[in-house]
Amino acid sequence: MKLTRLPHHTLAIVRGRDRAAALRTVLTLAEEGLTATEVPLTTTDALWVIEQARRELGPDALLGAGTVLTPGQAARAADAGAGFLVTPGVVEGLGTRLPVLMGAMTPTEIISATSHGALAVKLFPASLGGPAYLTTLRAPFPDVPLLPVGGIDAAAARAYLDAGAVAVGAGAPLIGDAADGGDLTALRARAAQWRSSLAEAATL
């Protein structure tokens, strides 16, 4: 898994209360070109969503499980077809060979996450420090891939990428209510606006 190849530098986070709607959301995002997706295990029947999405999208899709806290959860996510894991904080000994995006916020946590083999550090909740905090972290951690998550809309995504983020996690500002059974047409419109906004940023 190469984070530099995430389409539009975006990891879409699909969390919802309706498993069928969550699956439709994952597939709709893929149709709109946002093909890197995390399904948090707090989503209703998340493993079913991952399994069905993997079946529809194929073995090469960038599809992972989020909010992974235990080795048991990690194993079940891998069995369901997750290609990577995402944790909300530093979690040791998940026991799979899958890449892990490990959550951290402070320098100490970042050091711990990288020492435990994290592919990248999920800077969470990024909204506490904003892009300026990420810029500050780049000085002591120039080689650590940082992926901010938490309340990031398209404008903030541009600022984080400019500050040195390898990609951003896009949750509610992108997904809206789609994973709870909301309007997929509105989701497509938000996805198009997101792509356009980040494409414009890439040309600046």
Alpha-carbon distances of 96 from 72, 75, 146, rounded to whole Å: 10, 7, 22
Residue 82 clears pLDDT 80, i.e. is over it: yes
Residue 200 clears pLDDT 90, i.e. is over it: no
Instruction: Judge whether 43 and 36 are in contact, CB under 8 Å.
Output: no
The pLDDT of 145-159, averaged and rounded, is 94
**pLDDT for the residue 6:** 81
The pLDDT of 30-53, averaged and rounded, is 97
Q: Find the length of the chain.
A: 204
- Which of 2, 31, 32, 38 does the annotation list as catalytic? 38
Residue 47 has, within 13 A of its CA and on its CB side, a CA count of 10
Q: Does residue 2 have an active-site annotation?
A: no
Q: Which two tokens stand for residue 203?
A: 């040309």
**pLDDT for the residue 204:** 45
**pLDDT for the residue 136:** 97
CB burial of 88-101 (b: ≥16 within 10 Å; e: otherwise) equals bebbeebebebbbb
Tell me the whole-structure pTM to 2 decimals. 0.94
Give percent of the chain with pLDDT exceeding 70: 95
| Range 7-203 classified under CATH 3.20.20.70 | yes
Instruction: Judge whether 122 and 100 are in contact, CB under 8 Å.
Output: no
Q: Does residue 109 have an active-site annotation?
A: no
Residue 146 clears pLDDT 70, i.e. is over it: yes
The pLDDT of 119-145, averaged and rounded, is 96
DSSP state of 9: G
- Which of 31, 32, 109, 122 does the annotation list as catalytic? 122
Mean pLDDT of the chain: 94
Confidence tier at 2 by pLDDT (50, 70, 90)? low
**Angle (nearest 5°) at CA 24 between 18 and 25:** 85
Closest CA to 10 of 174, 175, 180, 168: 168
